[in-house]
Homo-oligomer: A and B are copies of this chain.
Amino acid sequence: MFLAKIKGNIVSTPKDKSLIGHKLLLAHEVDTNGEYIGNKDVIALDLISAGIGDIVLICQEGDAIQQMLGHAKAPVNTMVVAIVDNLDINE
Q: A1-B42, A31-B39 are in contact. Are A83 and B12 (CB under 8 A)?
A: yes
Size of chain A's interface in residues, with CB distance under 8 A? 61
Copies, count: 5
Q: Report the separation of the CA atoms of residues A8 and B31 in the bound assembly, to the nearest whole angstrom.
A: 13
Q: Report the separation of the CA atoms of residues A2 and B27 in the bound assembly, to the nearest whole angstrom.
A: 10
Q: A32-B41, A44-B1, A75-B68 are in contact. Are A52 and B87 (CB under 8 A)?
A: no
Q: Could you tell me the dominant secondary structure of chain A's interface residues?
A: strand
A residues touching B (Cβ–Cβ < 8 Å)?
1-3, 7-16, 19, 24, 26, 29, 31-32, 37-44, 47-48, 52-53, 57, 59-68, 72-79, 81-91
Not counting A11-B85, A37-B39, A64-B66, a sample of 15 additional A-B residue pairs whose C-beta atoms are within 8 angstroms of each other reads A1-B77, A8-B88, A8-B91, A11-B88, A12-B82, A12-B84, A15-B47, A19-B81, A19-B82, A26-B89, A38-B40, A59-B77, A62-B62, A64-B72, A76-B81
